Structure 1
Amino acid sequence: MTDKYTAFVNGGFGKSLAKKLGLPQPAKLRRFKAGQALVSGPVLVVGSGSDADAVATYLLDGAGSSESIDVRRQAVEPSGSKWAAIVVVLTQVTAPGDLSEPILALGSQLRSVASSGRVIFVTRPAAAGLSPAVAAARNGAIGAMRSLAKELRAGATANAISITDDSAATSPSALSALRFFLSSRSAFVDGQIVAVSSEAGQVPESWAAPLAGKVAVVTGAAQGIGAAIAETLARDGATVVAVDVPAAGESLSKVANRIKGTALQLDITVPDAGAQIIEHAVARHGGIDIVVHNAGITRDKLLANMDNAKWDSVIAVNIESQLRINEALLASEHFTNAPRIVSLTSTSGIAGNRGQTNYGASKAGVIAMVASTSPLLAERGGTANAVAPGFIETKMTAKIPFATREVARRLNSLQQGGQPVDVAETIAFLASPASGGISGVTVRVCGQNMVGA
């Protein structure tokens, strides 16, 4: 689906007209293309201490690849270019007053951030047992980041990586999150915190193909977000089993053929769906490493008009099927080698949405499910996480009445809807071997707004 307004105001007469009338001018976001450099200009690292030095050194060394990155440590406007990213390392703050110098140094450089630039805070969590001053400083950093994300323009975003006190700022998962937020893969992720809870994870041999050798299953893969997920995981090196209902068989086969994977026609609500998925993946590809629970439905009605069929069908597809499949995975000897589960939830499961009590209940259930599943996978080096899309340009959102759709598009910090690939990129990041220290979390892909399904 396309956003004709955004296309109109980004060139020629439309751009001039929007500027004269003071209309919103959403930027054309920079999204990932094969061969693209991690960053497209100099990177400023703000902050003092060993963590800031380690992050700067990692970037200066090419961020795990042969790329050459221009890294600066002085908050001085770069000559002849703009900052592709500013990384603010605040892991050693101990009181709210410690935030002043680095954050105001950041503020002095914001006018020099490039279009689709990145601001990334690296912090520690305000965990229980800390002194009040330390907890206040750490949470203050998050509050500053979220507010800054609403101030940035021209497609720039702000996000945070929160690393536990017993984990290094350059642990595999911290670096995986840093690369994700620096890159154009995170185009529609804004105002978010990724919590790194351990030093687990393994840096891939190649960041260009981090999923090489992995077998991934994607449900609801025949179209839309599911197809984008399947394509993105395959691009990153995975062999993909594309799953969808028999009625979508033709579209499913096209997706599977396009990515050189296999198709499995299956109603995921049947009791033995998990067993069928495992059997197919093992028989055809020798194993199963990643499961993406993407399949979902809506049956919207105000609760006063809701009937059993609409309620029960949404619960059955969106949450009960995932629970049963996960039980089969956890009982299987084939899902034990640092496996990954990534579930699709929704901002409706966080903030609610009128006419979606059934959908909101199912998606809120998904968030709690991954948090509870996470420790069950930890002993086998696995993770369970969720991705919560906001307004994404799909066939479903295209059916929303025009006025409501336009409002939903413009309310977020980036003033536009996301694309299916934005959800897919976030899932690929969480599925990576390097992200083994990120588990039980929900990452919103919503441009920093709670609208959408």
Structure 2
Amino acid sequence: MTDRYASFVQSAAGRTVVKRFGLPDPPRLRRHHLGDPLLPGPAVLGAATGGRLAEPVGTILTAAGVELRDAAGAGPQDRFGALVYDASGITDSTQLRQLYDFFHPHARAVLPSGRVIVLGTPPQECPTPREATAQRALEGLVRSIGKEFGRGTTAQLVYVTRAGDGVLTSLESTLRFLLSGRSAYVSGQVIRVGAGEATVPADWERPLDGQVVLVTGAARGIGAALATVLARDGARVVALDIPAAGDALAAVANDIGGTAVQLDLTAPDAPTRLADHLASRHGRVDVVVHNAGITRDKTLGRMDADRWDQVLDVNLSSQERINDVLLERGLIPTGGRIVSVSSIAGIAGNRGQTNYATSKAGVIGLVDSLAPTLRERGISVNAVAPGFIETRLTARIPLVVREAGRRMNSLAQGGLPVDVAETIGWLAWPASGAVSGNVVRVCGQSLLGA
């Protein structure tokens, strides 16, 4: 689906109209292409007094080919691809002034589609209430920067645990994702990097090399984009969808060199049949991506029971049944990852979608409840929550509602299926194994649920 307004804005006439009437100004976003550098320019790395993360982050960025600049030596004409700040040393609210001192001089020096990343300590790990208070304050800073800097710039807060296996590896994977074009439509997010199983890939361009990845709902839209991105990153993709989508599913599987499985996930024997297939063909499944989902929209007072039951069964209960069988049979090994697709409707609710919003909020509950248990088994579980994504389904939305969905975010445009796929891809990397229990919104920092 084409966003004609966004295309018009990029023209000379469009630039004039937007400036004159103060209309939404969707920027051209930087997206990932093989061989791209992480950033379009150098990065400034700063740190609060006593910060513990600047040194390892500097090492990570230098190894990734990022040119680092000293904040003190930056001139008024310099422009930067990213501003990265280690705020882990802030232990009292009076020290928050250091944030202003770093960001104020550089706020207008970020290149289009630049990146802002603030690193901190999870408030629950802070030894004093004052430190926890100061670290929690970072969320307000980051979300405001995401709405202020403009021109496609995104801003994220990464809370990094103080100790544990896999922390630095997953911090590297997270920085590589957030700085690159892969995170084009992710902004204003709080990401937590804890301890867990994490493995550095031999090649960061193929971070899923040799991994067996199951993608449900893979025949069209986000699912097809997912299969393509994961295969590009080196995965052996098992693409699953209902028999009625068999032709489209086969086309996707053929295009990426994967395999197709036609299966109705709501069938009573579906989990067992799926587990048998994975066991016989691959012996395991390293990553399970629960993408399959449906909508059956009606206001609650007009909704029949079948519409409620179908949506809850496909979008939520089927995920639980599949997880139970795969975990019970040990088919998801240590270092495995589960990624579920939620929605901002599950965070903010949506008129006419009580069934859908309930199911997607349940997906968030699934992540919250499973993360502590699966961490003990070396398995991560996360969710992504897409906002307005340009698909054949959103193309059917009435024009006024569709335009509101596109513009009511910090990037003033809808996202693409590839934006969701890239985010799930990052969570699926073995290097991201210490990133668990997160719900990452892929919504351009939507005003809904913000």
Alignment TM class, shorter chain as reference? over 0.9
What is the deviation of 1:57? 2.7
Aligned to 1:232: 229
* Cα 1:258/1:341, change in 2 over 3 Å: same
- Residue equivalent to 2:4: 4
The one-letter code of the counterpart of 1:187 is: A
Measure, in 2, the Cα distance between the counterparts of 1:388 and 1:379: 25
What is residue 59 of structure 2 aligned with on the other side?
Answer: 57
Q: Does 1:279 pair with 2:281?
A: no
Structure-2 change in CA distance of 1:36 and 1:323 (3 Å): same
Distance in 1 between residues matched to 2:15 and 2:277, nearest whole Å: 52
Aligned pair partner of 1:314 in 311, 314, 322: 311
Partner of 2:172: 175
Per the TM alignment, residue 450 of structure 1 is displaced from its structure 2 partner at its CA by: 5.2
Alignment of 1:168-317 (within 5 A): 171-198=168-195, 200-317=197-314
Instruction: Confirm or deny that 1:94 pairs with 2:91.
Output: yes
Sequence identity (%): 49
Asked if the contact 1:85–1:119 (Cα under 8 Å) also holds between the matched residues in 2, the reply is: yes
- 2:329 pairs with 1:327: no
Aligned equivalents of 1:42, 1:29: Cα separation in 2: 18
Per-residue deviation at 1:46?
A: 1.2
SS at match of 2:71: coil
Q: Say whether the 8 Å CA contact 2:167–2:194 is kept in structure 1.
A: no
Q: Give the superposition deviation at 1:12.
A: 2.3
Distance, in Å, in 2 between the alignment partners of 1:222 and 1:396 is 14
Shift of the 21–201 alpha-carbon distance from structure 1 to 2, 3 Å rule, reads same
After TM superposition, the structure 1 stretch with the greater mean CA deviation from structure 2, 366-375 or 47-56, is 47-56
Confirm or deny: 8 A CA contact 1:347 1:388 kept in the other structure. Answer: yes
| Structure 2 counterpart of 1:218, one-letter code | V
TM-score, length-normalised on structure 1?
0.95
Corresponding position: 1:380 with 2:382: no
Aligned counterpart, 1:370: 367
- Greater shift, 18-27 or 210-219, is seen at 18-27
Alpha-carbon RMSD across the aligned residues, in angstroms, is: 1.8
Whole-Å separation in 1 of the counterparts to 2:311 and 2:92: 47
Match of 1:133 in 2: 130
Which residue number in structure 2 is paired with residue 123 of structure 1? 120
Letter of the structure 2 residue corresponding to residue 32 of structure 1: H
- How far residue 53 of structure 1 moved from its aligned partner, in angstroms, is 2.4
Read off the aligned partner of 1:154 and give its amino acid letter: R
**Other structure's SS at 1:127 match:** helix
Deviation by residue 1:122-174 (Cα, 9 ceiling, x = unmatched): 01111166322111110111211111111121000100110123359961111
Write the distance in 2 (CA, Å) between the matches of 1:451 and 1:297: 21
Structure 2 unpaired stretches of 5+: none
SS at match of 1:282: helix
The 3 A distance-change label for structure 1 pair 298 and 272 is same
Matched, 1:34 2:34: yes
Deviations 1:365-422 (A, max 9, x none): 1111122122332233111111000111111111111011111111101111111011
| Gap runs ≥5 in structure 1 | none
The answer to which of 422-431 and 159-168 deviates more is 159-168
> Deviations for 1:171-226, whole angstroms, at most 9, x for unmatched residues?
11111111111111000000001101215311111111110010101000000000
8 Å Cα contact 1:46/1:75 also seen in 2: no
Q: Deviations over 1:71-124 (max 9, x none)?
A: 012245458752100101101111112121233321210111000000000011
Aligned residue pairs total 447
2:26 matched to 1:45?
no
Change (3 A) 1:173 1:129: closer
Return closer, same or farther for 1:170/1:111 CA change in 2, 3 Å cut-off: farther
Aligned CA distance change for structure 1 residues 171 and 72 (closer, same or farther; 3 Å): same
- Counterpart of 2:60 in structure 1: which amino acid? Y
**Helix, strand or coil: the match of 1:424?**
helix
For 1:233-270, what per-residue CA distance to the aligned partner results, in whole angstroms no more than 9, with x for missing partners?
A: 10110000110011101100000000000110110111
* Distance across 2 between alignment mates of 1:306 and 1:110: 49
The farther-off stretch of 219-228 and 99-108 is: 99-108
